[in-house]
Every structure is written in C-alpha cells, then in structure tokens.
Amino acid sequence: MKPLLQKVALVTGAGHPKGIGRAIALKLAEQGATVVVTDLAQASEDMSGAVSQLKGQGVEAMAVAVDVTQKTQIESCVQQVLNRFGQIDILVNNAGVGVGSSDFTELSDQDWELSFKVNVKGVADFSQAVIPVMQAQGGGSIINISSLLGLGAVEAIPACYTATKFAVIGLTKQLAVNYAKQNIRCNAVCPGSIVTQMHSTTLELIAEEHGISLEEAQALEDANIPMGYSAEPSVIGDAVAYLASPAARYMTGVSLPVAGGMSPGI
C-alpha cells in the first residue's frame, strides 16, 4: 500500500534534474502522490522533464512556472492546482538560493534582499496561500527545506544564507503551533552536504576560502562528516516522504537534520 495515494503534493524549486526538489517530487510520486512541480519560467524544459519522469512512475503530474518572490504568481499557481486536482494535501517549500560572499563585510544589499525574498518570504507566502486550502480540507502537511545551516553556523558560508535558513526554522515552529489543532502539520528538513548544483557553489566557496582545489575542498568537507561522505538528493526525498506520510502523524514543529551525523548548533 502506497501511503500517499489520493494525496496531491506541490513541490517548489523542483525543476533541476540534480536538485533536491526533483528528488523530493520523485519520492512523493513513488509513494503514490499526484505531484505538482514548480520552478522559474526559464526552467520550463527542466519542468517538462520532471513531469515526464513523474508520469513514468504512474502518477498524475503537472508543472507550473512560479517565481516565489512574486505573490501573485504563487496565488495563481495554487488556483491552477485546485482547478485541476481540487486539493493540496502536501506543500514542500524547497525553492531557495545561496548567494553572496563568505566575507560578511562584502555582502551587498542585493544579496540580503534576494536571500530573504526567496528563502523566507517565498516560504511564508506559499504557506499563506495553501493553509486556507488545508483548513477547508481538514488538514495537511507543510514541509520546509531549511538547511543544517539553519541549526548552526559553518565556516565560509555567506551570513545571509545562514540567517535566512535559521528564519525558516522559526517560521516552521510558529506555523506548527498555530495550526496543530486544525490538523495541519509543519516540519522542516535540514540537509547537510548533498550533491546538488548548489553543492558545487559551496565547494567553490570553501576552495576560495582555503586556497585549495575543488577536489581538496570536497575531501575537507567529507572529513567533517562523521559518516564520511556527501549524500545524493534522494536521502532528502526519503525524509520528506516520511514526514508527509501518516507514519509521522504525531510530528509537527520538528527540524530534522539529514546530515550524516554533522550537528552544528543545538
């Protein structure tokens, strides 16, 4: 029995073939969910590929172009999903950016503004658009993709990224408290070192910070992971699928590290 049969899941930032969002969408489909993928309009080809993959798993799927910094696009997306499927049971706020210098004094206003608009306000606006739908349905599950850097700081990471990922944890906990009695659960997943397109950017920052090659940067990162390696995006998909399922029905307000034993902060 697939635990997410007859559920509709919406996953933001799910276009890139090697991204966490795509892996999450595929895992939810594997569990039986109908899946809606969103990403920026320029990723339309990637989103089409995602829909093909999802349909190949025997589920219904659709793609909607959405810039999460534009509230009208979010509201339009939610309405399109309701028009087609009539419900939204699972929202995965995965869209995120990592920009800026590891030197705090070099961060620009644009770095801070983009980080906040995507990593925090985008999560808040999508949740605000979907919560009334879940209230009318009698419940739902919101899963926010934060980061291990939402729990603690790591050297050579832009402060605007760390700060906004901490904010995602705070938002998650507040929504969990606010809507628990209405059967709307809100949890966060905090990925550690995951091999994605953003991971390549992180390695470049580490290499620049220490004056080493990308290969040496990867070895340095792996040396700080108790399990000794960076994981594939599918491990985040597994965690999200669990939190979205009935097996996690008594879990809300959780910030779940999926990080091979890395544990900065508390």
- Which residues are the active-site residues? 161
Q: Helix H segments across 33-158? A: 44-56, 71-85, 109-116, 122-137
Within 10 Å of residue 65's Cβ, how many Cβ atoms?
16
* CA–CA separation, 232 and 38 (whole Å): 21
DSSP labels for 207-259?
Answer: HHHHT--HHHHHHHHHHTSTT-SPBPTHHHHHHHHHHHSGGGTT--S-EEEES
Q: Which two tokens stand for residue 196?
A: 């994605």
CB 44 within 8 A of CB 30: no
CB 141 within 8 A of CB 90: yes
CB-based contacts of 41, cutoff 8 Å, min separation 6: 65, 67
* CA–CA separation, 86 and 66 (whole Å): 19
Of 67, 257, 41, give the one whose Cα is nearest residue 146: 257
Bridge-based pairing state of the strands 184-191 and 34-39: unpaired
- Using CB atoms within 10 A of its CB, is residue 52 exposed (0-12), middle (13-18) or buried (19+)? exposed
